[in-house]
Amino acid sequence: MGIQSPIGPGAAGESHGPVFGEAARAQFAASYPETPHVLPHGLGHHHLLTLDALAALAGRLPESAIEYNRGDLPVGVDGKPEGTGLSIEETIRHIARSNSWAVLKNVEQVPEYEALLLSLLGEIRPQIEARTGAMLRPQGFVFISSPNAVTPYHFDPEHNILLQLAGSKTMTQFPAGDDRFAPDTVHESYHAGGARELTWHDELMEGGRAFAIGPGEAVYVPVMAPHFVRNGPESSISLSITWRSDWSFAEADARGFNRVLRRIGLRPAAPGRWPATNKGKALAYRALRRLGMTG
C-alpha cells in the first residue's frame, strides 16, 4: 500500500487544526532521520483510540496482528513472555488492573484507522521526503499498557513516531548502528527472519538516553535504534505511526548481504548510517535473492 494524499483538515483528530503544528514540523525536519527527539502533537482524545474502540478493533483484526502478555517484565527477555489468561478484549477494557502489555499491529487494515494513519503521516510527508525520499509502507500500531508495564529491549526496522495519548511512559533509546548495543550479527539474523529482541546487560544503560512523554507529546525513533519502554503509574495508550524509506530498505538488504559474506568466512563492515546509501551491497543482495542464493 502506498501513501495517499492527506484526507483533509481535522481528519486526524477531534479538532480542526493540524496534529503536528508548525513548531513540531520544524523540529522534526531539523532532526530527521537520525536524531531522536520529543515533539508536541495535538491528537488529543480521539474516538478511535478509546479503550472500548480499541477492544472492538482487536475483534476486527486477524490473530496475527495481536500480541499481548504480562506487563511485569524485565528489560531483557529470552523467548516469548507469558500470557495472563485473559482475552485481548478483556485485557484492553481492564488494562488498569490486568497487569498487561498489548499491541494491535497494522491497524491500517481497518479503513477508518488507515485514514487516521495516512492523515497524520500526510502532515509530515514533505519533511520526510526531503531527506529520505518517498514515504513507503505506512503502518500503525497501538500500544495499551498497564501501570508500570515494560516493553523489553528491542529494535524495529521502521522510522517511527510514538504519540502518547493517555498516561505516561519513558522510552530509553540507544545509538542506532552501534555494535555495542545491537551486534551486527543480530541485525543480520533479524533480516533473515530472526527475533528483534536483544540481549540486555546492565552496563548498557550508561549509553542510553531517556525520553519521558505524556499526553500531547511524541518521541521519534530512528530506524533500528535499540530501545525499551517503561510505563508510568497509570495505564497508557500510545499510537505508533511508522514508515519505510529507500534508505531503510537498502540498510536491511546490506545487512542481508553481510550475512552471506559472514557465512563464507569474511568479516564485513557494517552498513553506513544515513546519509550513506549502502546501494552497492543492497543491489548485490537483491541480485542474489532473485537467484535464490540468500538462504
| Integer Cα distance of 220 and 157 in angstroms | 13
User: Where does the pLDDT of residue 17 fall: very low under 50, low under 70, confident under 90, or very high at 90 and above?
Assistant: confident
Beta pairing partners, 211:
171
How far is CA 108 from each of CA 10, 13, 63, 139, 232, rounded to the nearest angstrom?
Answer: 18, 16, 15, 6, 27
What is the reported pLDDT for 173?
98
Given a cut of 90, whether residue 295 has pLDDT beyond it is: no
Q: What is the mean pLDDT of residues 139-148?
A: 96
The pLDDT > 70 percentage for the chain reads 91
Please name the helix (run of DSSP H) or strand (run of DSSP E) that holds residue 220, with its range, or none. strand 217-221
Given a cut of 50, whether residue 111 has pLDDT beyond it is: yes
Is the CB of residue 118 less than 8 Å from the CB of residue 70? no
265, three cell numbers:
568466512
Q: Tell me the H-state helices in the chain.
A: 22-31, 51-60, 88-93, 111-132, 184-190, 246-263, 279-290
Among residues 45, 1, 220, 9, the alpha carbon closest in space to that of 131 is found at 220
Given a cut of 90, whether residue 1 has pLDDT beyond it is: no
Q: What is the mean pLDDT of residues 25-42?
A: 98
In sign, the C-alpha dihedral spanning 209, 214, 220, 223 is: positive
Q: pLDDT tens for residues 66-103?
A: 999 877 767 755 555 455 568 899 999 999 888 888 99
| Integer Cα distance of 233 and 97 in angstroms | 11
Looking from the CA of 202 toward its CB, the CA atoms found within 13 Å total 1
Among residues 152, 170, 153, 168, the alpha carbon closest in space to that of 73 is found at 152
Pairing of strands 150-154, 227-231: antiparallel
What is the reported pLDDT for 97?
85
For residue 74, give the DSSP letter: -
The region, left, alpha or beta by phi > 0 then psi within -120 to 50, assigned to residue 233 is: alpha
92, three cell numbers:
484492553
Q: What is the mean pLDDT of residues 154-174?
A: 97
CB atoms within 10 A of CB 174: 21
Average pLDDT in the chain? 91
User: Where does the pLDDT of residue 8 fall: very low under 50, low under 70, confident under 90, or very high at 90 and above?
Assistant: very low
End-to-end CA distance of the chain: 27
What is the reported pLDDT for 83?
53
- 186 φ, ψ to 5°? -70, -40
Given a cut of 60, whether residue 104 has pLDDT beyond it is: yes
Q: pLDDT tens for residues 179-195?
A: 999 999 999 999 998 88
Q: What is the mean pLDDT of residues 208-225?
A: 98
